[in-house]
Amino acid sequence: MAVETTNVKATNKAWDGFTGGHWQNEINTRDFIQKNYTEYKGDDSFLEPIAPSTDKLWTKLQELFEVEHEQNGVYDMDNNIPSTLTSHGAGYLIKEEEKIVGLQTDKPLKQAFQPFGGIKMANNALTSNGYEVDENMTKVFTEWRKTHNQGVFDAYTPEMRLARKNKIITGLPDAYGRGRIIGDYRRIALYGIDFLMEQKKKDHDNCGSNVMLDDVIRLREEISEQYRALADLKKMAASYGFDISRPAENAQEAIQWLYFGYLGAIKAQNGAAMSIGRISAFLDIYIQRDLERGDITEFEAQELVDHLIMKLRMVKFARTPEYNSLFSGYPIWATLSIAGMGIDGRSLVTKNDFRILHTLTNMGPSPEPNLTVLYSSHLPEGFRTYAAKIAKESSSIQFENDDLLRANWGSDDCAIACCVSATVVGKDMQFFGARANLVKAVLYAINGCQDEKTKMQVGPRFRRMEGETLDFDEFMENYKQTLDWLAELYVNTLNIIHYMHDKYAYEAAQLALMDTDLKRTFATGIAGISHATDSIMAIKYGNVKVIRDEDGMAVDYVPQNEFPTYGNDNEEADAMANWILDYFMTQIKRQHTYRNSTPTTSLLTITSNVVYGKATGNTPDGRRAGKPLAPGANPSYQDGKFLGEKNGLLASLNSTARLEYEHARDGISNTQTINPNGLGKDDTTRINNLRNVLDGYFDKGGYHINVNVFTNELLLDAQKHPEKYPNLTIRVSGYAVKFRDLTPEQQADVISRTSHDHM
Q: Which residues bind a copy of itself (CB under 8 A)?
A: 82, 84, 116, 140-141, 143-145, 151, 153-159, 205, 210-214, 217-218, 220-221, 224-225, 488-489, 492-493, 495-496, 499-500, 503, 591-592, 594
Instruction: Compare residues 115 and 734 and give the one whose CB is closer to a copy of itself.
Output: 115
Kindly tell me which of 151 and 173 has the beta carbon lying closer to a copy of itself.
151
* Least distance between a copy of itself and beta carbon 431 (Å): 13
Helical (H) or strand (E) element with 75: none
DSSP one-letter string for 279-329: -HHHHHHHHHHHHHHTSS-HHHHHHHHHHHHHHHHT------HHHHHHSTT
Q: Which of 207, 414, 419, 449 is catalytic?
A: 419
Q: Which is nearer to a copy of itself, 69 or 218 (CB)?
A: 218
Contact 126, 133 (CB under 8 A): yes
Are 526 and 630 contacting, i.e. CB atoms less than 8 angstroms apart?
A: no
CB atoms within 10 A of CB 209: 8
Q: How far is the CB of 256 from a copy of itself (least distance, A)?
A: 26
Could you tell me the smallest distance in angstroms from the CB atom of residue 492 to a copy of itself? 4
* 145 versus 548: smaller Cβ distance to a copy of itself: 145
* Dist CA 225 CA 409 (whole Å): 28
Nearest to 735 by CA among 197, 371, 394, 391: 371
Least Å from the CB of residue 161 to a copy of itself: 12
Residue 419 among the catalytic residues = yes
| Torsional class of 92: left (φ above 0), alpha (ψ -120 to 50), beta (otherwise) | beta
154 or 243: CB nearest a copy of itself: 154
Closest Cα partner for 640 from 542, 710, 571? 542
DSSP string for 427-490: TEEEE---EEEHHHHHHHHHHTTB-TTT--B-S--PPPP-SSB--HHHHHHHHHHHHHHHHHHH
Gap between the Cα atoms of 514 and 423, Å rounded: 12
Q: Which is nearer to a copy of itself, 12 or 596 (CB)?
A: 596
Decide if 148 contacts 205 (C-beta within 8 A): no
Nearer of residues 45 and 210 to a copy of itself, judged by Cβ: 210
CB of 274 to a copy of itself, least distance (A): 21
Least distance between a copy of itself and beta carbon 506 (Å): 10
Q: Which of 207, 414, 418, 449 is catalytic?
A: 418
CB proximity list for 656: less than 8 A, separation 6 or greater: 567, 633, 634, 635, 668, 670, 702, 703
State how far the alpha carbon of 512 is from the alpha carbons of 181, 196, 226, 507, 524, in Å. Answer: 11, 8, 5, 8, 25
Least distance CB 140 / a copy of itself (angstroms): 6
Residue among 50 and 496 whose Cβ is closer to a copy of itself: 496
**Is 449 considered catalytic here?**
no
Output the smallest distance, CB 422 to a copy of itself, in A. 26
Q: Which strand ranges, in their side-by-side order, compose the sheet holding 398-401? A: 336-339, 371-375, 398-401, 704-709, 671-674, 755-756
> How near is the Cβ of 157 to a copy of itself at its closest, in Å?
7
Say how far apart CA 247 and CA 431 lie, in whole Å: 31
Q: Secondary structure of the chain: what % helix, strand, coil (to 5)?
A: 50, 15, 40
Q: How many whole angstroms from its chain centre is CA 542?
A: 37
Backbone angles phi, psi at 428, to 5 degrees: -120, 150
- Give the residue with the Cβ less far from a copy of itself, 420 or 489: 489
Of the CA atoms within 13 Å of residue 74, those in its CB half-sphere come to: 20
Residue positions annotated with a catalytic role: 418-419
